[in-house]
């Protein structure tokens, strides 16, 4: 079982690049700029010891980098610390945080917010991206693939680093269950990799620490795993959500520390998607995570924006639709489609999702774009794994046509799409399964 779970991660273990993030502590994001109050004094060495002992269980980087980076006021640090330590020790922690090297930023900063700002709504998202509220008739797959999702302002707000009174933030409200650090996987356990990362901040150690934690939190044979979803009665929604937020902050602080803006590794970014999935699945339980829909959408978009070729597009699209953002959902489906691997079945499912989520006045152009892309893929000589995938792809394309036809009022548009559908079906019928 461990080997099967781990194999899902192994194939993309070394898909490295770069990224950008932000960090802070579990504190109020609307406070004034940091005030290094002269009346607060303490011993920095003792403060480091106290921070590691009392605070690091939630602050995954262990060195208070996030608190320094977000420039939390001394008074706020003391206020938060005295929930765990006495006042003198809280002053020691302040003295230690003052020694942490970081270029401070606003506590209102939202890590990775696409375009650096929020779009005013679904139609505004489209007009900023395409000039008009239409899918461009001359859009090519290459042009769409060149659009970086992180550069396009969206109407979904990404979380702040830390907010005290709700869970729409990065910082977990509870520490990590340390038993997860010692769960054995085919790659060892997370604890030594995490300790090595804390000492060196080496990216390879970070990747293996996160890899092992992501295996541990969902392993069926791990009785301490909160994120087991098969069988579903093993799923502990709130604990899973908090665990995954803790893991996510590791990658975030690493990227901020080194000013990385591009994708680092799929293992890290998929961990962000996982937070959204925990919120999504919680809706199917009595233990619904607070702000479940918002957390579902923002965390999945966060993870997908760095890895557009990954994940079935239906999951994020459902959240975007529920938020009244069908243009976002359509863009997501088609942008994912053009990023897919050569022999992936996913593009056929992406076209079905395009038909499902596209606004009526977008439907003809988006379906034409998607079907033409499938024709081009089939003409390029792709293969699918087996006959089952071929049959599923055929069914997806036919279902997409039926759904799109209901949105179209011009018979000529239905006819044009049917011609493309038949080309796709003919191409699928000529495929020879690549494997058994």
Coil, strand or helix at 188? strand
* pLDDT band at residue 34 under the 50/70/90 scheme: very low
The answer to whether the CB of 288 falls within 8 A of the CB of 307 is no
Cα–Cα distance for residue pair 38/82, rounded to 1 Å: 19
Cα–Cα distance for residue pair 195/198, rounded to 1 Å: 5
Of 40-44, 146-150, 346-350, the poorest mean pLDDT is in: 40-44
C-alpha torsion sign, points 285, 275, 184, 10: positive
Cα–Cα distance for residue pair 285/287, rounded to 1 Å: 5
The three-state (H, E, C) secondary structure of 85-114, written as one string: CCHHHHHHHHHHHCCCCCCCCCCCCCCCCH
The answer to whether the CB of 278 falls within 8 A of the CB of 225 is no
Cα–Cα distance for residue pair 139/309, rounded to 1 Å: 19
By residue count, the chain amounts to 436
State residue 261's pLDDT score: 85
Query: Is the pLDDT higher at 80 or at 140?
Result: 140
* Residue 408 falls in which region: left (phi positive, over 0), alpha (psi -120 to 50) or beta: beta
The per-residue pLDDT of the chain, averaged, comes to 89
Cα–Cα distance for residue pair 96/40, rounded to 1 Å: 12
Report which DSSP code applies to 160.
B
State residue 38's pLDDT score: 53
pLDDT exceeds 50 at position 23: no
State residue 24's pLDDT score: 31
Q: Each residue of 401-435: pLDDT tens digit?
A: 999 999 999 999 999 999 999 999 999 999 988 87
State residue 436's pLDDT score: 65
**CA angle at 279 for the pair 108 and 193, rounded to the nearest 5°:** 75
Looking at the chain, the number of H-run helices and the number of E-run strands are 18, 0
State residue 39's pLDDT score: 67
Q: Which residues pair with 16 in a beta bridge?
A: 265
Q: Which residues pair with 112 in a beta bridge?
A: none
State residue 37's pLDDT score: 54
The answer to whether the CB of 62 falls within 8 A of the CB of 56 is yes
Comparing CA positions, the residue from 129, 125, 161, 164 lying closest to residue 146 is: 129
CA dihedral 284, 286, 287, 290 (to 10 degrees): 80
Q: What percent of the chain has pLDDT over 90?
A: 75
Q: Each residue of 182-230: pLDDT tens digit?
A: 999 999 999 999 999 999 999 999 999 999 999 999 999 999 999 999 9
The answer to whether the CB of 240 falls within 8 A of the CB of 217 is yes
**CA angle at 319 for the pair 313 and 320, rounded to the nearest 5°:** 85
Instruction: List, in order, residues 6 or more apart from 349 with CB less than 8 Å away.
Output: 312, 313, 314, 393, 396
Cα–Cα distance for residue pair 157/166, rounded to 1 Å: 15
Query: Is the pLDDT higher at 47 or at 362?
Result: 362
């Amino acid at each position: 079982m461990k080997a099967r779970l781990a194999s899902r991660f192994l194939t993309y273990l070394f898909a490295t690049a770069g990224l950008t993030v932000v960090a802070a502590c579990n504190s109020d994001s609307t406070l004034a700029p940091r005030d290094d109050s002269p009346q607060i004094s303490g011993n920095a060495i003792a403060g480091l010891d106290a921070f590691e002992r009392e605070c690091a269980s939630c602050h995954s980087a262990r060195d208070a980098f996030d608190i320094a980076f977000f420039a939390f006021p001394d008074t706020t640090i003391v206020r938060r610390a005295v929930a765990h330590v006495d006042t003198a020790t809280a002053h020691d922690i302040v003295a230690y945080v003052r020694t942490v090297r970081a270029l401070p930023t606003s506590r209102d900063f939202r890590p990775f917010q696409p375009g650096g700002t929020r779009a005013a709504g679904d139609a505004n998202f489209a007009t900023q991206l395409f000039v008009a509220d239409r899918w461009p008739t001359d859009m090519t797959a290459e042009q769409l693939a060149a659009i970086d999702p992180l550069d396009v302002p969206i109407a979904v707000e990404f979380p702040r680093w830390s907010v005290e009174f709700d869970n729409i933030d990065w910082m977990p409200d509870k520490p990590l269950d340390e038993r997860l650090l010692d769960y054995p996987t085919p790659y060892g356990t997370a604890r030594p990799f995490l300790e090595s990362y804390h000492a060196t901040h080496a990216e390879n150690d970070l990747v293996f620490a996160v890899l092992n934690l992501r295996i541990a939190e969902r392993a069926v044979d791990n009785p301490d795993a909160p994120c087991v979803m098969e069988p579903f009665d093993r799923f502990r929604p709130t604990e899973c959500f908090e665990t995954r937020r803790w893991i996510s902050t590791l990658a975030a602080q690493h990227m901020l520390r080194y000013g990385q803006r591009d994708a680092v590794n799929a293992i890290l970014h998929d961990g962000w998607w996982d937070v959204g999935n925990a919120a999504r699945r919680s809706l199917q339980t009595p233990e619904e995570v607070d702000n479940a829909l918002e957390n579902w959408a923002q965390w999945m978009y966060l993870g997908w924006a760095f890895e557009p070729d990954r994940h079935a597009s239906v999951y994020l699209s459902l959240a975007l639709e529920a938020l009244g953002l069908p243009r976002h959902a359509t863009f997501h489906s088609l942008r994912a489609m053009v990023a897919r691997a050569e022999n992936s079945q996913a593009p056929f499912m992406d076209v079905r999702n395009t038909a499902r989520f596209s606004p009526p006045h977008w439907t003809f152009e988006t379906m034409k774009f998607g079907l033409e892309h499938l024709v081009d893929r089939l003409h390029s000589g792709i293969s699918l794994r087996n006959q089952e995938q071929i049959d599923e792809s055929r069914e997806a394309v036919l279902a997409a046509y039926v759904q799109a036809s209901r949105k179209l009022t011009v018979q000529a548009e239905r006819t044009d799409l049917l011609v493309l559908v038949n080309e796709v079906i003919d191409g699928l019928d000529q495929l020879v399964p690549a494997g058994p």
